[in-house]
Amino acid sequence: MTAAVLPAPRIPRHIAIVMDGNGRWAKLRKRPRAFGHRAGVDAVRKVIEAALRSGVQVLTLFAFSSENWARPPSEVRHLMELFLRALRKETRELGDNGVRLRFIGERSAFSSDLQLAMAASESVSIASLKLTLNIAVNYGGRWDIVAATRAVAAEAKAGLIEIDAIDQATLERHLSLAPLPEPDLFIRTGGEARISNFLLWHLAYTELYFTPVLWPDFDATCFQGALNEYARRERRFGQTSEQIAEVVDA
Ligand code: IPE
Ligand code: IPE
Ligand code: MG
């Protein structure tokens, strides 16, 4: 019997993460949810370092969903403050380490302070680009698809594109992650096995990995565990194992 042949590069180019479980982590320690969110920021730092070390090119982190506004106002306020503080504190060092920061999501809902800090972080010059870090804030996969559809409709109305010429690539060009490659690996911490309106379009063929580890406990070893699992997967994209093996053998 021949060993399973892995067609795709073993290191995912792009990893998307739903960072879930901060609240439960705090509850286990009998502390307020805010304590869990603060610990979550430390986990973000560790995972960025691990991604840099392993040669991942794009990391997309789900920090605040379009549905998270429904949380108690005090928790939303705390998350916004934490976000603003982290941006002001970390951006420069990220740039020095070759990390380019981008935000995806509907920004107009945020305070002007936060919008300015986001724009400032995105304009920091990068010494030598190693990793593109997308932070998804007030992001929803359905929002993304609707916004792209609107942009394509506007082009059609202006006579820039024929309706019959609209295809998947047209829509993709207008999605917020364009022109980056789609995620190879999706990780969700915290034990829930759902997408929660994250990158709906882009996850069509992404390898999904769910772990019960709560986000503040997710460290370099957990990250490596996910990479190892990814390396064992055979990505077939609709083809058969035999076809994939032929390509690898060629
Ligand atoms: C993820 O952790 C952080 C955000 C959604 C902002 P949660 O706050 O959802 O933590 P749990 O799921 O309640 O444990
Ligand atoms: C998903 O986590 C969003 C983020 C991690 C930012 P949630 O905790 O909001 O997801 P649900 O509500 O359990 O699906
Ligand atoms: Mg949660």
For the stretch 158-200, pLDDT in tens is: 999 999 999 999 999 999 999 999 999 999 999 999 999 999 9
> Quick check: is 242 in a domain?
yes
Ligand 3 centre from 36 Cα, in Å? 11
Q: How far apart are CA 151 and CA 155, in angstroms?
A: 6
> Quick check: is 30 in a domain?
yes
Query: What was the pLDDT predicted at 171?
Result: 98
Average pLDDT over residues 230-235: 95
Ligand 3 centre from 62 Cα, in Å? 11
Q: How far apart are CA 142 and CA 146, in angstroms?
A: 6
> Quick check: is 90 in a domain?
yes
> Quick check: is 1 in a domain?
no
> Quick check: is 156 in a domain?
yes
Indicate which atom in ligand 1 lies nearest the CA of residue 64.
6
68 flagged as catalytic: yes
> Quick check: is 3 in a domain?
no
Indicate which atom in ligand 2 lies nearest the CA of residue 68.
9
- With the most atoms of ligand 2 within 8 angstroms of its CB, the residue from 65, 71, 82, 215 to mutate is 65
- The model carries a pTM of 0.95
> Quick check: is 160 in a domain?
yes
Rg of the chain over CA atoms, in angstroms? 19
Structural domains of the chain, count: 1
Ligand 3 centre from 156 Cα, in Å? 39
Residues of the domain holding 169:
11-249
The C-alpha angle 154, 169, 245, rounded to 5 degrees, equals 170
| Protein residue with least CA distance to atom 3, ligand 2 | 65
CATH of the domain at 23: 3.40.1180.10
For the stretch 40-76, pLDDT in tens is: 999 999 999 999 999 999 999 999 999 999 999 999 9
> Quick check: is 64 in a domain?
yes
- What is the dihedral sign for C-alpha 199, 130, 215, 78? negative
